Structure 1
Amino acid sequence: MSKRRKKVRGNPAREVTEQESSGAPGAPGGLRAFRQARREGRDLSVTPKRRDDVQDGYLSAASQRAGEGTDSNPHLLLYALLGLTVFLFAYLHLYALPQMNYFAGGFSMPDSRLFGYSVDDIERLRNVMDSDATGQLSFLHRTAGILFPLSFLLCSWAVVGLVMRRGVFRWFVLTGAALFAALDIIENFLIDRILTMQPLDEGLVAVASGFTMASWALLIILGAVVISAVVMSLFRRGLERP
């Protein structure tokens, strides 16, 4: 039986040139030449060349696209959460709550008052808002009023995990976002309570007003931190690209 090595047909990448089969040091070689040199005890400086994804020391275009896609998927989720949070904020505080002013004689809702409200402000709202208006405000609090702080918490969590550098400051941001979500949701139920309770509890009004001011302060500070972190991340990624 002939011991001649069969010639590989139909796959030029597997053909071995004379220089590769020699296994001489410095030859381009390949995996076969590397194994042959190791069996014969010769210089192992001939290293296999990965023809699939490395060419002349650079990744192939397919490998680069695969690597970039794997790295960008979490950031796409972050951008989606950020867009959802901005949309919910705009819907709640720039559209829905201002629309409620029509049912309150032109007075703004307690949620929209950055510097809080007094007992007189709540009494004025109670005199002009009927049961339908308070019911509509309560429904808004139980839908967008809950979705927005939760989306802000998730967005902050994603920013802390994917964008911010390691350090104690990240935990302050995440803790502040969780505190904001809790204060904002509790504030919604307190406002619904003081608008419908009989008689009006002045102490509960003061607590609700404090929750409103604290939630707005946390939202402004943390919102600036989150947006700045995302912008700086985009700037760094733009500089790192060739």
Structure 2
Amino acid sequence: MSKRRKKVRGNPAREPTQPEASGSPGAAGGLRAFRQARREGRDISTTPQRRDDVRQGYLSEANQRAGAGTDSNPHLLLYALLGLMAFLFAYLHLYALPQMNYFAGGFSMPDSRLLGYSVEDIERLRNVMDADGTGQLSFLHRTAGILFPLSFLLASWAVVGLVMKRGVIRWIVLSGAVLFAAVDITENFLIDRILTIEPLDPGLVAVSSVFTVTSWSLLMILGVVVIGSVVMSLIRQGVERR
């Protein structure tokens, strides 16, 4: 049987390239040429290019796609947080709280009053709401009432880190989001307190009303800034791709 080595056909990767065949030092012949030069004692000061990653100073198409994929992952998280925030807002303020009007004789909940409320408003609610109604409102405050401000804080944090440019405005928005979450959660417990405390404390009602107005003001101002920053970023990306 002949021991002659068969020639590999149809596989260009096994065929020696021109720099490898010539054996010239420093040629961009890949890792095989680099190792061959080192074994033969020739000059190995020049590191060969990686043919699979860089060709004539440019990244290969596969590496460009990989780089684009890793860059887009944080933005997917950002969009997911924004979607969660919008869902919780719609559930809490557009569905759950209006449903609570059934337990209050048609009167709106204190959370929904953008301009605040008075002692007379709270007295009216206390007269028509029973223990089941206040219990349902307290449960809503401890679930969606806490999840929504926390989701708003996380979404604002993601927008500040990924979308907004460096500057003092970023810290203002982030600080405002932290303040909104603290005020909104505190407001929930204050409302539960003034609906059940005996006797009713007018000073506590005034403090709770101020917290409600402040919460709505922060939400509207920060919401415009956060959503506006995301929209402007999407428009800017669309213009750059053209």
- Name the structure 2 match of 1:209: 209
Cα distance, 1:147–1:225 mapped onto 2, change above 3 Å: same
- Name the structure 2 match of 1:177: 177
Deviation, structure 1 residue 84: 0.5
Structure 2: stretches of 5+ with no match in the other structure: 1-6
SS class of match (1:209): helix
- Residues 196-238 of structure 1, C-alpha deviation per residue, up to 9 Å, x if partnerless? 1111111101000000000000000111111111112222333
TM-score by length of 1: 0.84
- Name the structure 2 match of 1:92: 92
- Name the structure 1 match of 2:63: 63
Question: Within 2, Cα distance between the matches of 1:8 and 1:31?
Answer: 20
- Residues 34-93 of structure 1, C-alpha deviation per residue, up to 9 Å, x if partnerless? 785xx7669x7xx84432133455433322221111111111111111110110000000
Deviation, structure 1 residue 163: 1.3
- Name the structure 1 match of 2:227: 227
- Name the structure 2 match of 1:159: 159
- Name the structure 2 match of 1:121: 121
Determine if contact 1:29/1:49 at 8 Å carries over to the other structure: yes
Determine if contact 1:23/1:34 at 8 Å carries over to the other structure: no
Cα distance, 1:23–1:176 mapped onto 2, change above 3 Å: same
- State the one-letter code of the partner of 1:221: I
Question: Within 2, Cα distance between the matches of 1:14 and 1:237?
Answer: 43
Determine if contact 1:21/1:29 at 8 Å carries over to the other structure: no
Aligned CA-pair RMSD? 3.0
1:1-242 alignment to 2 at 5 Å?
A: 12-13=12-13, 15-18=15-18, 21-22=21-22, 29-30=29-30, 48-55=48-55, 57-241=57-241
Determine if contact 1:176/1:222 at 8 Å carries over to the other structure: yes
- In the alignment of these two chains, the number of paired residues is 236
Question: Within 2, Cα distance between the matches of 1:235 and 1:97?
Answer: 35
- Name the structure 2 match of 1:4: none
Cα distance, 1:201–1:13 mapped onto 2, change above 3 Å: same
- State the one-letter code of the partner of 1:62: A
Deviation, structure 1 residue 128: 0.9
Q: Percent identity?
A: 79
TM-score by length of 2: 0.84
Deviation, structure 1 residue 31: 5.3
